[in-house]
C-alpha cells in the first residue's frame, strides 16, 4: 500500500470526520457487495465445490490482522490429525505469467508473493497461488491434498467452503465500522453473523458485534537470516538497540512485540507488501537488523550480515481448538459431494444479507 493509502487507512481506523464526504461512494460499494452476494444466492453465478473440505481464513478489514500465522498453525494442526492439507492464496504482490503456480523451494517471493513464500517455508505443505480460486484448488487436489485452507479468501465466493474463520486485530477492531472508502471494511459487519468463528488477535480493545474466541501471536525463536540458524527466544543472539524493519499491515504490532521481549527498538515502518531495496536495510551505525518472517523472504539477498528474523506462532485458545476438532471430525465423517456438485455454502451466504 502506498504512503497515501497508509494515511487513508489510519484515518479510517481512527474515524476521521472528513471521510464522511465519501459516503456516496460507500453506498455504491455496499450496493456492489449486495449485488455480488445476491448473484450467488439466486444461482445466477455458481460456486465450485471441491470434493474435499475447504476452510477459509480471512478478515473483514484492510490491513493486517494475523491471519497468516493462523493459517500456518491450522495446517500443522490438520497434519497432526492425519489430514493432507494444502494452502490456496491469491499471492498479493507476486507477478506470475502462468497460473496456477505451485510454490517450489526455488520460487522467488517476487513471483508468488511474500505470504505464500513464507507459508510454504514454514509449513512444508503444498501452496498454490492463483487469483482464480477454483482453478487453484484443483491444482492442490492434483498435489494429493485432502483438505484445503484458503488464505484470505472470505470475499471470493466462487469457491464454496465448509468453514469460515475471521481474524480481527484486537487493537484496531473494525475501525469506524464503515465500508470502503469511508472505513476499512471490505464487507458490512453483518457478515460476521454468517461465519463459523471469529478470532481476536490479542486483547480486544473495542467492543465487538459478535462473540469471539481469542488467539495470540507468541514469539518462538530468533533466526539468523544468512544461514537460518535458530536461537531460543529467551536468549537474543545480539546486544544493544536494533533497527526493526516491518512491511506488514500494522508494523506497530511488530515493534511492540520486540519491546515486550526487552529489545530496544529503532523502528522503521513500511507499507504492507513493501518491495525492499538494499539501501533501506543498511544503516550507518551497523546495529543489528531485525525483521518479520514475511519481510525476510524478500530480503535474503539484500540484508546485511547481522540480520535476524523474529519467528512467531499463532496460539488459539483451547476452547477454539476443541470446537475446531469437533468440526473436523464431522467433516471427515460426512459424505463430500463430487466436483459436479455446484451447490455451495457460498451460494447460501450471508444468512443476514448486507444492508
At 1 the pLDDT is: 61
At 343 the pLDDT is: 43
Ordered domains of the chain (ranges, CATH): 3-211+316-348 (3.40.50), 216-314 (no CATH)
Residue 302 and residue 284 in contact, taking contact as beta carbons nearer than 8 Å: no
pTM above 0.85, yes or no: yes
At 235 the pLDDT is: 92
> How many whole angstroms separate alpha carbon 59 and alpha carbon 168?
7
Tens digit of each residue's pLDDT, the chain (355 residues): 667 778 898 899 988 999 999 999 999 999 999 999 999 999 999 999 999 999 999 999 998 899 999 999 999 999 999 999 999 999 887 888 799 999 999 999 999 999 999 999 999 999 999 999 999 999 999 999 999 999 998 999 999 999 999 999 999 999 999 999 999 999 999 999 999 999 999 999 888 888 999 999 999 999 999 999 999 999 999 998 999 999 998 899 999 999 999 999 999 999 888 999 999 999 999 999 999 999 999 998 898 889 999 999 999 999 999 999 999 999 998 754 444 444 445 444 443 333 3
At 344 the pLDDT is: 43
Strands 85-89 and 101-102: unpaired
At 335 the pLDDT is: 53
At 300 the pLDDT is: 85
Which residues share a beta bridge with 167? 199
What would the grid cell of residue 131 be? 487469483
Residue 175 and residue 339 in contact, taking contact as beta carbons nearer than 8 Å: no
Instruction: Report DSSP letters for 64-132, one per residue.
Output: --SHHHHHHHHHHHHHHTT--EEEEE--TT---SSSSEEPPTT--HHHH-HHHHHHHHHH-S-EEE-SS
DSSP-assigned letter for residue 185: B
What would the grid cell of residue 141 be? 487436489
**How far does Cα 289 stand from its chain's mean position?**
24
Burial of 44 (0-12, 13-18, 19+ CB in 10 A): exposed
Measuring CA to CA, which residue among 355, 316, 330, 297 is closest to residue 57? 316
Amino acid at each position: 500500500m502506498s504512503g497515501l493509502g497508509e494515511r487513508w487507512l489510519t484515518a479510517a481506523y481512527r474515524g476521521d470526520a472528513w471521510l464522511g464526504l465519501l459516503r456516496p461512494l460507500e453506498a455504491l460499494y455496499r450496493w456492489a457487495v449486495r449485488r455480488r452476494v445476491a448473484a450467488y444466492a439466486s444461482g445466477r453465478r455458481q460456486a465450485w465445490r471441491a470434493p474435499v473440505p475447504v476452510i477459509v481464513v480471512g478478515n473483514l478489514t484492510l490491513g493486517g490482522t494475523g491471519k497468516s500465522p493462523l493459517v500456518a498453525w491450522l495446517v500443522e494442526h490438520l497434519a497432526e490429525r492425519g489430514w493432507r492439507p494444502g494452502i490456496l492464496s491469491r499471492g498479493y504482490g507476486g507477478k506470475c505469467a502462468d497460473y496456477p503456480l505451485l510454490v517450489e523451494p526455488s520460487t522467488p517471493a517476487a513471483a508468488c508473493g511474500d505470504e505464500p513464500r513464507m507459508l510454504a517455508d514454514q509449513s512444508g505443505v503444498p501452496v498454490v497461488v492463483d487469483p482464480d480460486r477454483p482453478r487453484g484448488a484443483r491444482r492442490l487436489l492434483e498435489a494429493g491434498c485432502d483438505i484445503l485452507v484458503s488464505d484470505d479468501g472470505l470475499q471470493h465466493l466462487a469457491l464454496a467452503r465448509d468453514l469460515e474463520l475471521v481474524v480481527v486485530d484486537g487493537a484496531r477492531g473494525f475501525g469506524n465500522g464503515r465500508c470502503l472508502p469511508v472505513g476499512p471494511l471490505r464487507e458490512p459487519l453483518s457478515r460476521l453473523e454468517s461465519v463459523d468463528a471469529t478470532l481476536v488477535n490479542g486483547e480486544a480493545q473495542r467492543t465487538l458485534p459478535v462473540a469471539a474466541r481469542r488467539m495470540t501471536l507468541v514469539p518462538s525463536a530468533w533466526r539468523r537470516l544468512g544461514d537460518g540458524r535458530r536461537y531460543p527466544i529467551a536468549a537474543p543472539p545480539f546486544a544493544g538497540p536494533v533497527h526493526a524493519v516491518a512491511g506488514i499491515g500494522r508494523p506497530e504490532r511488530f515493534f511492540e512485540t520486540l519491546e515486550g521481549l526487552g529489545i530496544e527498538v529503532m523502528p522503521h515502518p513500511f507499507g504492507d507488501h513493501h518491495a525492499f531495496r538494499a539501501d533501506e536495510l543498511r544503516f550507518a551505525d551497523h546495529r543489528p537488523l531485525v525483521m518479520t518472517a514475511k519481510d525476510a523472504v524478500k530480503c535474503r539477498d539484500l540484508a546485511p550480515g547481522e540480520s535476524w528474523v523474529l519467528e512467531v506462532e499463532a496460539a488459539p485458545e483451547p476452547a477454539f481448538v476443541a470446537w475446531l476438532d469437533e468440526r473436523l471430525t464431522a467433516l471427515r465423517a460426512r459424505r463430500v459431494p463430487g466436483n459436479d456438485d455446484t451447490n455451495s455454502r457460498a451460494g447460501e451466504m450471508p444468512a443476514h444479507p448486507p444492508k
